[in-house]
Structure 1
Amino acid sequence: VERKASRTKAPPGLPHYLASLYTVPLLTREEEQYYFRKMNYLKFKAVQLRESLDPRKPRAKELDALETLVEQAVQVKNFLIRSNLRLVVSIAKKHMTPTANFFEMVSDGNMSLFRAIEKFDYTKGNKFSTYATWAIMKNYARSIPTELTRRDRFRTGTEDVFMFSPEERGSQYEAESNNAQQHQVIMSILDQLDERERNIIVHRYGLERGSEPETLEQVGTRLGVTKERIRQIESRAMQKLRKIAVDEKLDIPGLE
């Protein structure tokens, strides 16, 4: 697979080693499928070879071949990790709180990324970045309220935070975090629609920041087609989104 240059300028203020992640080209859907298929094939061949070995007297040639397969699988996995590390940085920045340690959040997110690569099923045709985004944010939803509660024990002062119990603070953060997560995941899975479908869903449901939902007629006028045509395309797009939500086990209100 020929790599396509799809670099993004690093956000300002990042340390050099994090900013350097943005020089690594993003993978296309086709590239993702190629490398996940390759990694899984290498792992499968390694398992096959390992099971065929005579444990009492394994041959050196077979052991060398097994080691080569394992090394190649690890190389592909590391390549997938490097190609997606900037995703962790981006999500960590969006989930920062006044007391959070950014580097700890990046480290925590990296662990979620590693697990996501092991569990991702490329045969469903979905983008890995969508799956990884959901996995990373689910981890933050669990870990951040716990960390806030722990750090509250060492606070001093008369901040409003003391008006709530640790359980209430955790619940309040979790509710706000879930809303932000759902919006981010929805915007992420919208990338799997074509441009017209995406525009219609975004405008119909007011998903852009500061925008309001529009009627079929308003969206039709915007795109120069009839409202009935908008209804048809919206219905088709929603069916796609529901399938993605089911395939990736995403709990998104309105897509049940």
Structure 2
Amino acid sequence: MAELEPANREADQFLESLEGLTTAQLRTRTKRRLREEIAFIANDDFRDPELGKAIFEESLELAPRQASLGVAAIRRSGIDMPIHLGRLCEAPLLKPDQERMLFQRMNYLLQQAAIHRSLLNPARPSRVRLELIDRLLALAAWHRDRIVEANLRLVFSIVKKFVNPNNNFDDLLSDGIVALIRAVEKFDFDRGFRFSTYATQVIRRNSYRTVVVKQQERQKTVGGLQDMEIDLTDEGRESAISEKRWHELRSRLSVMLDDLDRREKFIIRARFSLGAHRKVHTLQALANRLGVSKERVRQLERRAMDKLRGMAGNAQLAELESP
């Protein structure tokens, strides 16, 4: 159990003592905890009442972090990035038995937290049980983080392949790490294959989806700008426009939209799938929303387009074109 000392010390930094809370405050905490789901991957072995003692008696024997691993990860990436990112990759890879043990412990701790959560009663709140649940969740998070940090080099190696002028490494890395964490939480360690096999597919699909979604959003807005007769040049139509200039165009369009009245702004955004609108709305759908005729929506759209064309002609957008 001495191996859990660093996990407990880390948990102590974040866990809030419930000592001194009133019954009403404990009741509120209990209701909040009951609303929060505790998800874990169930396992038949968890039914064994002696399992907890057995899995925590066996030592993980995790190797210490190595700065050389982080430096090597930066060099292999082939991407110009801050050296401090290498610190994310200093944890050695896990051996198969270490990986299995971490997943088993993490899910067992989550299962125990879920059991105690099911015993909570707002009418008779228990400070001791609430604190126990918090500690179990913190210890589970510590084991999860050991798995995550040991697999961060995998994220680096995958997302770098998706970097292009419109998708920078930092954003892809952030999304990739989130995907890695989700993969850890959903991986069934008892199926007999390594986590990296599963995680590779999850991270790759996530990166591909990120790139595709961003490309689709750019094409929607570029199409909207073209319909307003704003010249993006052939280069822009081929999506070779730089990310900086792309954001400038979006910013300029946003400013122009602010000069429209409320209904005009709503119609343009809905018709060109801008802002919160994820699809192009038909004239009839907008007519139903606004309580007017389809022809009236068409007139408002035409009026708004005329205003935007006038503003675009005065906005000197040529500065955004390629040199």
TM-score range, shorter chain: 0.5 to 0.7
Distance in 2, matches of 1:87 and 1:6, equals 16
* AA matched with 2:139: Q
My pick for the range that moved more, 126-135 or 151-160, is: 151-160
Of 47, 53, 61 in structure 2, the residue corresponding to residue 2 of structure 1 is 61
Asked if structure 1 preserves the Cα contact closer than 8 Å seen for 2:113 and 2:133, the reply is yes
- Could you tell me which runs of 5 or more consecutive residues in structure 2 were left unpaired when the two chains were aligned: 1-59, 226-230, 240-323
In structure 2, how many angstroms separate the alpha carbons of the residues matched to 1:112 and 1:103? Answer: 14
Identity of aligned residues (%): 34
Say if 2:115 is the partner of 1:48: yes
Alignment of 1:152-171 (within 5 A): 152=219, 153=222, 156-159=232-235, 162=238
Contact persistence 1:88–1:109 (CA under 8 A): yes
Show the counterpart of 1:136. Answer: 203
Give the greater-gyration-radius structure (CA).
Answer: 2
Work out the number of aligned pairs and report it.
163
Runs of 4+ aligned residues of structure 1 deviating over 6 Å after TM superposition are: none
The residue aligned with 1:104 is: 171
**Amino acid aligned to 1:2:** E
Structure-1 residue corresponding to 2:38: none
Q: In the alignment, residue 210 of structure 2 is paired with which amino acid?
A: S
Partner of 1:123: 190
Is this contact kept in 1: 2:89–2:150, CA < 8 A? no
Cα–Cα, structure 1 residues 66 and 158, in superposed 2: closer, same or farther, change >3 Å?
Answer: same
Output the amino acid matched with 1:3: L
Give the residue type in structure 1 aligned to 2:238: F
Equivalent-residue separation in structure 2 for 1:148 and 1:27 (angstroms):
36
Separation in structure 2 between the aligned mates of residue 127 and residue 105 of structure 1, nearest angstrom:
24
Q: Which residue of 138, 143, 160 corresponds with 1:93? A: 160
Map of 1:226-237 to 2, 5 A cutoff?
A: none
Partners of 1:16 and 1:5 lie apart in 2 by 20
Q: Give the 3-state SS of the residue equivalent to 1:48 in structure 2.
A: helix
Alignment of 1:1-256 (within 5 A): 1-4=60-63, 8=69, 9-12=72-75, 13-152=80-219, 153=222, 156-159=232-235, 162=238
Whether the aligned pair in 2 keeps the contact of 1:6 and 1:26 (CA below 8 Å) is no
Q: Take 1:21 and 1:132, find their aligned partners in 2: how far apart are those partners?
A: 17
Cα separation, 2, equivalents of 1:53 and 1:149 = 47
TM-score when scaled to structure 2? 0.46
Mapped to 2, the partners of 1:5 and 1:41 lie a distance apart of 25
Deviation at 1:5, TM superposition (A): 6.5
Q: CA deviation at 1:121?
A: 0.4
Q: CA deviation at 1:159?
A: 4.1
Structure 1 unmatched runs, 5+: 164-256
Instruction: Provide the C-alpha distance between the structure 2 equivalents of 1:161 and 1:87, rounded to a whole number of angstroms.
Output: 34
Structure 1 length normalisation: TM-score? 0.57
Is the 8 Å Cα contact of residues 5 and 26 (structure 1) preserved in structure 2? no
- Look up the SS of the partner of 1:158 in the other structure: helix
